[in-house]
Structure 1
Amino acid sequence: MSETSGPILRWRVRRDLLIMKIVGAFALAVLTVLTLDDPRGAILAGAATAILTALVVRDLLAPVRLTADGEGLVVVRGFAGSERVPWSAVERIRVDTRTRFTSRTELLEIDTGEGIHLLSRFDLGVPCRQVADELRSFRTGA
């Protein structure tokens, strides 16, 4: 990230969720060992362990998912990479809300024209609507 003067806003994965994922991965690893005499159970527990461990590694390598400064945004991309997006490339910032059955999900959408970056509340640590409002205010200087 380049040197900028002025405020920098950051949104990151909540530490308590990271700790819960670590505990869950450990518990699944123990379950995998305990089910070695049952091949199907061991495969399922092993796969769940691998997936949750990958999520833990990603959270450790790239805990900050979104940063905003006077020049633009830095958004997590791929497993643990990042991409700098200048404010001039940001076409729209909005929150996509969907309700399925009794569950409501929100995703922060950052549209750059060439692509859309999607971030959830779990990525940002706070509600998506709050981040969208802060980004719009920060961008316009209001």
Structure 2
Amino acid sequence: MTETSEPVLRWRVRRDLLVMKIVAALAFAVLTVLTLGDPRGAILAGATSVVLAVLAVRDVLAPVRLTADGEGLVVVKGFAGSERLPWRSVERIRVDTRTRFTSRTELLEIDTGESIHLFSRFDLGVPCRQVADELRSFRTGS
């Protein structure tokens, strides 16, 4: 029996960003210890360290944020869970672009009618427009 492997596309958090989060969490943990004489500084540094550590743990537990195959998409849901979305449930794939002051933000938006899944460039490791184009091409087979 011959198995056919259908193509699978995956987008994941870049490893260098994960390493930066870990290093920053450690640096803020050290800063927390060094500022124990200043309660406000210690609380601020400690809270920052915890937030960065939680974000790094999420990146370790669920590094792949979006997967596409012939049956549909698998999106990260919650802290480190996932949800399968069949292609028939995906109503729209688009890139939402916002400009505020001098900053431009892009989010990949996958709309199923019942839920909207948003991904940033940091989630996907590549520009959102590139992922949207690849998903549309993959979905239509062109």
Structure 1 stretches of 4+ with a deviation exceeding 6 A read: none
Query: 5+ unaligned residues in a row in structure 1: which ranges?
Result: none
For residue 5 of structure 1, report the CA deviation from its aligned partner: 3.5
For residue 69 of structure 1, report the CA deviation from its aligned partner: 0.2
Question: Which residues in structure 2 correspond to 1:91-102 (within 5 Å)?
Answer: 91-102=91-102
Distance 1:120 1:140 in 2: 23
Say whether the 8 Å CA contact 1:71–1:87 is kept in structure 2.
yes
Distance 2:55 2:127 in 1: 20
Paired residue secondary structure (2:16)? helix
Distance 1:104 1:42 in 2: 33
Q: Under a length normalisation based on structure 1, what TM-score does the superposition of the two structures give?
A: 0.97
AA paired with 1:24?
Answer: A
1:124 maps to 2:117:
no
Q: Under a length normalisation based on structure 2, what TM-score does the superposition of the two structures give?
A: 0.97
CA deviation profile, 1:1-38 (whole Å, cap 9, x unmatched):
xx984100000000011111111001000000000111
Distance 1:90 1:135 in 2: 11
Q: Over aligned residues, Cα RMSD in angstroms?
A: 1.2
Counterpart in the other structure of 1:65: 65
